[in-house]
Structure 1
Amino acid sequence: MSYENLSGRTAVVTGAASGIGEAVALQLAAQGARVALLARRADRLDAVVEKIRADGGRALAVTADVTDDASVAAARELVHETFGAVDLVVNNAGVMLPNPVGAGRLDEWQRMLDTNVTGVLRIIRAFTADLVATATEGRTADLVNVSSIGAHVPFPDYAVYGATKAAVTYLSQSLRTEFGPRDVRVTNIEPGLTDTELKTHVDSAELAGQLDGMFDAIGGLAAAEVADVVAYVTSRPRHVNLRQIVVLPTRQA
């Protein structure tokens, strides 16, 4: 799809080395936005940036870790030096590490909280001033948070992951009371089963098998299909906020 009024926007996309983040970066760049791609894997980022540039787009690879304050601050400085102020932020970085709560996997809990919740907050803190200034100037400003259907629908052994995504969904809802009056849009997107690298993080053979079975039975969304939703919502007229979108494969009831 073509969304012409994304041309000239300046976007930051986290978790942009693969999956939904990569697809969002490719989609926004194809529509004429300047895109800063943030992720930890420099080699993967460079490959995506080269792909964008080969297609005539403008992109910047920013090796950054959303769980680290100094890394996020340095990322912001590099983005500002290269592209100036940002008017579109896509909080997509996330990890999914399912196990029974009874397994007591504190390491997994902490990693999910640091990435999926505090990481989102760090990025918001880094770019709020940009978004507010953009809106004050009468231009479109967007914050998009990628949550999950797991924020609402409980899946066995995904309790902590689901809780982190419920936190993102609530955060998006609450932030509208702060950002909306300042003309900054906040959109929360909750994908269902989507074919990304998240499933490769699952260290339980049983749970990995269950996930594969769901893909076989339901069929997952492609990352590019979720990215199209991001492009659609951020290309609406600036007074229109599509605030909450659940996007599922049709067979995922």
Structure 2
Amino acid sequence: MVTGATTGIGEAVAYQVAEMGLSVVLVGRRADRLEAVAENVRARGGKATPINCDIGDPAAISALFDEVRNRVGGLDVLINNAGVGYQSAIGTFDTTELRQVLDINVLGTALCIREALPFFDNRLDTAIVTISSMAAHRIPAGGYGMYAASKHAVRAIMEALRLELAEIRSPTKVANISPGTVATEFHKLFVRTGEDPTEALPFQRLTPDDVADAVAYLLSTPSHVQINEMLIRPTGQIG
């Protein structure tokens, strides 16, 4: 399962894992884009099941996993990629926007993990990978405070999950990937304009495929190898 699979990193991850031979459940809010990505997966010889779902809605998440159980029958890998962010100072943030950030980035991620774990049933070759951000490791200037807070929370959730699974000797792998600047539509949405401010940066940004390659590597390691945290910056990015 790949959440936020309609564009950017999620779309690239969907293609990558499909090429590894996995059947992919594509999850997102835009039904037309989901179907387009599903058709692309199939055109490459893969199998895809698109399911429309708002990860910010707890009831929709429960329905999502019920549908996976009914339509697909099982689940081996969860890729938490759905996320949102808005530029805002701590002193002026919009309450509705902050709730959306927390509902999708934090609660939505946690609920997907909770609902996925029963499918794994302590089996080998199962994994939970969350696409986070370098904002989970430092606080960027320029109105990133609330977004960074959500990503710090996700990092804590993933580390707590690793400890809990280790205590019960579960073979399910847990990994958190924190990319630096990636060339996606996220930045336009973050600053609420039609222009991407990262296009003017003096270094080459990561591509969604770069992050997808990292996911593929994490999933291909031997059963005794678990890479829990991966930080990926473009060469030349300082923060």
Normalised to the residue count of structure 1, the TM-score between the two structures is 0.88
The AA in structure 2 aligned to 1:28 is V
1:174 aligns to what? 160
The 8 Å contact of residues 185 and 196 in structure 2, kept in 1 or not, is answered as no
Letter in 2 for 1:213: A
| Counterpart secondary structure, 2:174 | strand
Q: Figure out how many residues of one structure are paired with residues of the other and give that number.
A: 235
- Alpha-carbon shift at residue 128 of structure 1 (Å): 0.8
Mean Cα displacement is larger for which, 196-205 or 165-174?
196-205
Task: Say which of 190, 194, 208 aligns to 1:223.
Answer: 208
* Alpha-carbon contact 1:34-1:83 (below 8 Å) kept: no
1:188-221 deviations in whole A, cap 9, x for unaligned? Answer: 100000011211212455xx6654433xx12210
Q: Distance in 1 between matches of 2:93 and 2:212?
A: 34
Structure 2: distance between partners of 1:203 and 1:244 = 28
Residue 234 of structure 2 corresponds to 249
Alignment partner of 1:163 is 2:152: no
Q: Secondary structure at the match of 1:102?
A: coil
Please state if 1:146 is matched with 2:146: no
C-alpha distance in structure 1 between counterparts of 2:89 and 2:51, whole Å = 35
Aligned-CA RMSD value: 1.6
Match of 1:233 in 2: 218
Question: Secondary structure of 2:140's match?
Answer: coil
Preserved contact between residue 188 and residue 197 of structure 2 (Cα < 8 Å): no
Other-structure match for 1:5: none
CA distance in 2, matches of 1:226, 1:236: 16
TM-score of the superposed pair, with normalisation by structure 2: 0.93
Q: Aligned partner of 1:111: which letter? A: Q
Alignment of 1:92-171 (within 5 A): 92-131=81-120, 133-135=121-123, 139-156=124-141, 157-171=143-157
Query: Which structure 2 segments of 5+ residues have no match?
Result: none
Q: Percent identity?
A: 37
Whether the 8 Å contact between 1:186 and 1:243 is mirrored in structure 2 is yes
Note if 1:188 corresponds to 2:193.
Answer: no
Give CA-to-partner distance per residue, 1:201-244, whole Å, 9 cap, x none.
Answer: 12455xx6654433xx1221000110010011011111210110
Answer with 44-53 or 145-154: which moved more.
145-154
* 1:50 pairs with one of 39, 56, 61: 39
- Of 160, 183, 188, the residue aligned with 1:200 is 188
What SS is found at the alignment partner of 2:86? coil
- Does the 8 Å contact 2:187/2:197 carry over to 1? no
The one-letter code of the counterpart of 1:140 is D
Q: 1:22 aligns with which of 11, 14, 30?
A: 11
Change in Cα spacing, 1:56 to 1:102, as seen in structure 2 (3 Å) is: same
Asked if 1:71 corresponds to 2:54, the answer is no
Taking a change above 3 Å as real, the CA distance of residues 203 and 130 of structure 1, as seen in their structure-2 partners, is same
| Structure 1 consecutive aligned stretches of length 4 or more whose deviation exceeds 6 Å | none
**CA offset digits 1:27-68 (Å, max 9, x no partner):** 001111000000000000000000111111000000001111
Q: Choose which of 64, 75, 100 in structure 2 pairs with 1:86.
A: 75
8 Å CA contact retained: 2:23, 2:46: yes
Q: Return the structure number with greater helix share.
A: 1
Residue 7 (structure 1) aligns with? none
AA at the equivalent of 1:159:
G
